Amino acid sequence: MAEALDLKAIGTRPVRPDGIDKVTGRAAFGADLHLPNMLHGMVLRSPHAHARIKSVDLTRARAAEGVLAAVSGADFPGGAGAGDLAKNVIARDKVLYHGHAVAAVAAKTLLQAEAALDLIEVDYEVLDPVMSLDEAMADGATLVNESQHTNGDTSKPASNVAATQRFERGDLAAGFAEADVVVETEHRVPMAHQGYIEPHACTATANEDGKATVWCCTQGHFDVRSLTAQVLGEKVGNIKVIPSEIGGGFGGKTTIYLEPLAVKMSQMTGRPVKMTMSREDVFRATGPTSGTWCKAKIGAKKDGTFTAASAWLAYEAGAFPGAPIGPGCMSVLAPYEVPNLVIEGNDVLVNKPKVCAYRAPGAPQSMHAMESAIDELARQLDMDPIDLRLKNSAAEGTVAPYGPRFPAIGLRECLEAAKVHPNYTAPVPEGAGRGVAVGFWFNIGMQSSAEVRIAEDGAVTVMEGSPDIGGSRASMALMAAETLGVPYEQVKAHVGDTESTGFCNVTGGSRTTFATGMAVVQACEDIIAQCKQRAALTWDLDEEQVDWVDGEAVPKPGVNADVKPLSLADIARGAGRTGGPLLGRASLNAQGAGASFSCNFTDTIVDTETGKVDVLSFTAVQDAGRAIHPSYVEGQMQGGAVQGIGWALNEEYIYDDNGVMENAGFLDYRVPVASDMPMIDTEIIEVANPFHPYGVRGVGETPIVAPLAAVSNAVRDQLGFRIPDLPLSPPRVLEAIDEQGGH
């Protein structure tokens, strides 16, 4: 059990290894690379939300001053196998959203590239855009993709519903019949963007030997390598990807947009090509998460015991299939024991950008619906909302709606801690409302590698392949220091490129500290095994007679040897005599990523004159399994909470009738600023994950899940009626207040 461990490094809060570079401006991010002879690439984007491309003529652009290359979809024949990915990178027969890439140019200066875009002639046949779930799912709807059949079933007519998902347990009708109280709610939440502050950027250099190097900001450079290779029809081995520092991703930097265009144009010109997106491009053509339409229904006995629940979820996929309905369905009832349930999800095409992962993708929307319904249920039962959740809480042994049985989980502990938290026992401020909600993310493992190298003075270098978005180098260094028994300051952690370190999947799904951390721990254990062997050789003992204690090899108790302990430095210094340099390695496909649950509560106050909602306090309680660097765990909880609050209160994609996003900038797509927020109080719960050597659970995703419903429930508490849809922006809140006043 991790509780029993006597930890020295883990749980401390040292300065991160990459910190100084990041406070001095030295750290190099995606757009910070400048190479000699570099060209500037720019993308021509579709002015229509839905149109057939009849022709693209690049002749005049190619002839323009300073232009050395111009490409359109036709220049990427090798990408046929890459399917939707390739079509999203650059359109072929149809443009499917306003801002869809149609062509690109590379010129000596940015101005020349920009001017050349105006010379590209595209002939479109404009089609009706499909802009809402209702429209997309209606009978006789215009089709975003004429050959899309639900779940690939060609015996049925083509449909904008690309896929469906269903979980079922027990007898739903019987369950609802058993209930004393049944609540039903329905909610719509528009598209929202991850809003990372760094726009996408990359620089590609293709060599004469056919090899290309890509420098870019990404959550997963190994994925950039394979995806770029797919779109270009290249061999993976011909592409090297160097991850720059990354200025936020939240899931939105797990795919590619510019990279194949830059590589292609570098191949065509023999010169480096740099491409960066504007903020407007970022909003129009990358990342958003699904707009959703969710129905929730839940029934309980008088004592609060849930008897049945159902959820119907429809998620906008954007232009290509792939809305996160799987996780949406998995999450919606995961925190509870529910004997009878039906959960249905629909992945629906619309003429909006292809959605990308956004922190706990799919869970905030579905859980907003169910946690709102549960809040109403608590009111009807006259129960405290935490007590109602505790009564039905999942625990070790509960079978999740999606199949597996939970091992040790920390939901109950979170709820109990919230119940006695001073912010909860304090009265609700005069005139304000309080809302409670639960959050969940299952977390993922996947593949990681790590290497640990020991210099001749004992300095430890950890080399791994998970881009560091939020301090993960510090976590890796802490786990290495703990395992090896050396001070944190003796360890440096690095993120290697695709050729200097072993394969790692993306930084995402809250897997890095768990899975890559596990690889680092195992690579350190490899070092320890080697050190014990080297010490045995030095002392003329058997390996089994040597122990590793506090960073030193010592003879095991009872072994009769008159020798001085050998430190990591001692062994490294003499490594040439005992078998060569110390190099530890591990690679794994991590299993057992423990689910992380949370309970959030908030006090908000609505100005009934303006409709503006102010957040007075926000408290996040979450199970981290084991907080390796508690400050960065708190940081995840606080950052996720504020993203969730922004989503609840302000953030939304607003479209005009032609399918053009009207608020593609930070002025009108308003993310929370410092003056909008209070301090975000955190409490970390540690119910160790039995599948990680130190008990780690991923913590990055869960924090964004509960705030949507917590804020909605708080506003409901004050107003006395529910506004089901988000965001709770001043116009919507005011309209709802006016409507209520009219009744």
Contacts with other proteins by CB under 8 A lie at 13, 15-16, 18-20, 22-29, 31-32, 34, 111, 194-199, 245-250, 278-279, 469-471, 629, 631-632, 634-636, 638-643, 665-667, 671-677, 679-680
Write down the least CB distance from residue 663 to other proteins, Å. Answer: 12
For ligand FES, the closer CB: 15 or 197 = 197
DSSP assignment of 564-608 equals --EEHHHHHHTHHHHTS--EEEEEEEE-----EEEEEEEEEEE-T
Sheet order of strands, 292-300 included: 161-169, 341-349, 306-318, 292-300, 181-189
String of DSSP letters for 379-405: HHHT--HHHHHHHHB--TTPBPTTSPB
Helix (H) or strand (E) holding 517: helix 517-539
- The answer for 592, left when phi > 0, alpha when psi is -120 to 50, beta otherwise, is left
Contacted entry of other proteins, ligand FES, none for residue 194, CB cut-off 5 to 8 Å set by kind: other proteins
25 binds, among other proteins, ligand FES, none (CB under 5 to 8 A by kind): other proteins
Q: Which does 674 bind (CB under 5 to 8 A by kind): ligand FES, other proteins, none?
A: other proteins
Note whether 561 binds ligand FES by CB under 6 A.
no
Helix (H) / strand (E) element for 665: namely none
Those residues with Cβ within 8 angstroms of residue 181's Cβ, 6 or more apart along the chain or in another chain: 299, 300, 302, 377, 380, 381
Q: If we measure between CA atoms, which residue out of 640, 697, 40 comes closest to residue 360?
A: 640
Smaller CB distance to ligand FES: residue 160 or 643?
643
Closest CB to other proteins among 420 and 679?
Answer: 679
Return the axis-axis angle of helices 630-649 and 472-484, rounded to nearest 10°: 150
Partner whose binding site includes residue 19, from other proteins, ligand FES, none (CB under 5 to 8 Å by kind) = other proteins
Quick check: 692 and 510 in contact, CB under 8 A? no
- As measured in angstroms, the least distance from the Cβ of 639 to ligand FES is 8
Query: Checking DSSP bridges between strand 101-107 and strand 212-216, what pairing results, if any?
Result: unpaired
Residue 730 is a binding residue for ligand FES (CB under 6 A): no
Task: Please work out, in degrees rounded to the nearest 5, the angle formed at the alpha carbon of residue 223 by the alpha carbons of 221 and 229.
Answer: 105
Work out how close the CB of 672 gets to ligand FES at its nearest, in angstroms, rounded to a whole number. Answer: 12
User: How far apart are alpha carbons 560 and 395 in whole angstroms?
Assistant: 50
Applying CB under 6 A, which of residues 11, 19, 248, 565 lies at the interface with ligand FES? 248
The pairing of beta strand 596-606 with beta strand 433-441: antiparallel
Q: For ligand FES, which is the closer residue by CB, 170 or 248?
A: 248
Closest CB to other proteins among residues 238, 631? 631
Q: Where are the beta strands (DSSP E) in 319-410?
A: 341-349
Nearer to other proteins, 347 or 634 (CB): 634
State in angstroms the smallest separation of the CB of 615 from other proteins: 11
**Rounded Cα gap, residues 684 and 167, in angstroms:** 31
Min dist. Cβ of residue 494 to other proteins (A): 16
Nearer to other proteins, 471 or 693 (CB): 471
**Residue 635 binds what, of ligand FES, other proteins, none (CB under 5 to 8 Å, by partner type)?**
other proteins
Please report how close the Cβ of residue 470 comes to ligand FES at its closest, in angstroms: 8
CB 97 within 8 A of CB 319: yes
Provide, rounded to whole angstroms, the least separation between the CB of residue 599 and other proteins: 17
CB of 276 to ligand FES, least distance (A): 12
10 Å Cβ neighbour count for 7?
13
Closer CB to other proteins, 245 or 623, in the complex: 245
List all residues 6 or more positions away from 231 whose beta carbon is below 8 Å from its beta carbon.
76, 78, 79, 82, 85, 86, 89, 256, 260
Q: What is the dihedral of CA 501, 503, 509, 513, to 10 degrees?
A: -40
Strands 680-685 and 613-623: what pairing?
parallel
- Residue 648 has, within 13 A of its CA and on its CB side, a CA count of 33
Min CB(252)–ligand FES separation in Å:
13
Nearest alpha carbon to residue 316 among 148, 134, 156: 134
Shortest Å distance, C-beta 624 to other proteins: 15
- Closest-by-Cβ residue to ligand FES is 197
For 544, the 3-state DSSP assignment is helix
Decide which of other proteins, ligand FES, none touches 677; Cβ closer than 5 to 8 Å per partner kind. other proteins
Q: And the tokens for 380?
A: 């009807």
Q: Which is nearer to other proteins, 578 or 617 (CB)?
A: 617
Task: Report, in Å, the least distance between residue 638 CB and other proteins.
Answer: 4
Compare residues 197 and 529 and give the one whose CB is closer to ligand FES: 197
Least Cβ distance, residue 248 to ligand FES (angstroms): 5
Nearer to other proteins, 245 or 376 (CB): 245
Which one, 29 or 402, has the nearer CB to ligand FES? 29
Q: What Rg do the C-alpha atoms of the chain give, in angstroms?
A: 27
DSSP state of 661: B
Kindly tell me which of 432 and 620 has the beta carbon lying closer to other proteins: 620
Residue 27 touches which of ligand FES, other proteins, none (Cβ within 5-8 Å per kind): other proteins
Of 99, 107, 116, nearest to 59 by C-alpha is 116
User: Minimum distance from CB of 264 to other proteins (Å)?
Assistant: 23
Site string for ligand FES, 156-195 (x = CB under 6 A): ----------------------------------------
- Pick one of other proteins, ligand FES, none as the site partner of residue 92 (Cβ within 5 to 8 A by kind): none
Q: Is 197 in the site for ligand FES (CB under 6 A)?
A: yes
Chain residues binding ligand FES by CB under 6 A are: 197, 248
